[in-house]
Structures are given as structure tokens and as C-alpha cells.
Amino acid sequence: MELIWLVLLVLVLYFGLFHRGSGGWTKPEVREKGTADGSLRYGFTDIPAMRLSGLSLNVTAHLSNTIFGQLILVPLIMSVTEERPGFNFKSISDFLEGYKSGKITPTQVAKNIISALEDADQAVMPLRAIVQYEGDQIIKMAEASTARYRANAPLSPLDGIPVCLKEEIKV
């Protein structure tokens, strides 16, 4: 009788914590596409997540694929919201919502970014986060994007979103 309980315990532990699910436990998320009338509903959602790295990331990734993870761990992680002090970084969906509502324009965002870059480079210890940029060209592209948003005809979900490309060698 004790052997049966031991076997059952081992099976529960194996299937609950170690066996990776085949994907049949959760329904895959489907993103909502933009509408045919040209409105700006692209279906982006922001999901807060815990900060993990190293061993804790590996263990969490493995456990999230088990039955235990699908039923307990994933809902727990998805419900965590953490307010971080310091910088308040905007997400793509924040920019899209601001552009759509007219609260902010790509031109305003571009001017704020250029101002922040200039302030950082003129500090006592210059940051030099971005070595090369053409402020006039950035403003010109942002004004074109602002005009497209006013006409409700953005090029894509990334139209007007600030992007920085890292260079390896200053050319």
C-alpha cells in the first residue's frame, strides 16, 4: 500500500512540476488586427512581468511549461504589477493611444527626445548615449508622421514611434 502512495506521489510531482505540457492547457492569445476603416486599433497590450535572470529565469521558464506553471505560476506572474521608481518609460501602446487621442504628437515626442539628448550631452559628465543624430531630419520625419496621424492614415503601428539603432563603429 505504501508503494502505491509513493508511486502516486512521484507521478504527481513528475506531471505537476517536471513534465512539460503539450500546449493543450491554455488557449493561445490572438492579437486583434487593425480595422478596415483605418482606425488605429492594432491590438497591442502591455503585460507587466517580474524581473528575472540567471537560475531564477531558467527555473521559472521551465516551471511555466508544466501543469503547475499553467494553472498556478503563469496566472500569478501575470497578476504582478510593480511600480518602479525613477524613469517612466512609455510603451508603444502609450504612444499610439496618445497619437490617436491627440494628447501628444510625434513632433512633440521628437522635440522632447532632441532636448533630452542635448541636455545629457551638455551635462558635467556628458552621457553621449547617442553619438550621431540629425535633429532637423528627425523633426522633418516627425512632422510628416503628425500629418499622417491627423489624416488618420499612419503608415504602420510604428509610425511616429521613436527608435534608436545602435552602431558598433562611428562612421
Q: What residue ranges do the domains of the chain occupy?
A: 2-79, 92-150
pLDDT, position 77: 65
pTM: 0.49
- Which pLDDT band holds residue 24 (cuts at 50, 70, 90)? very low
pLDDT, position 88: 64
Distances (CA, A) of 79 to 48, 50, 63, 123, 153: 8, 10, 17, 40, 35
Residue 54 has pLDDT above 80, yes or no: no
The single-letter DSSP state of residue 85 is: S
Distance, in Å, from the CA atom of 15 to the CA atom of 12, rounded to the nearest integer, reads 5
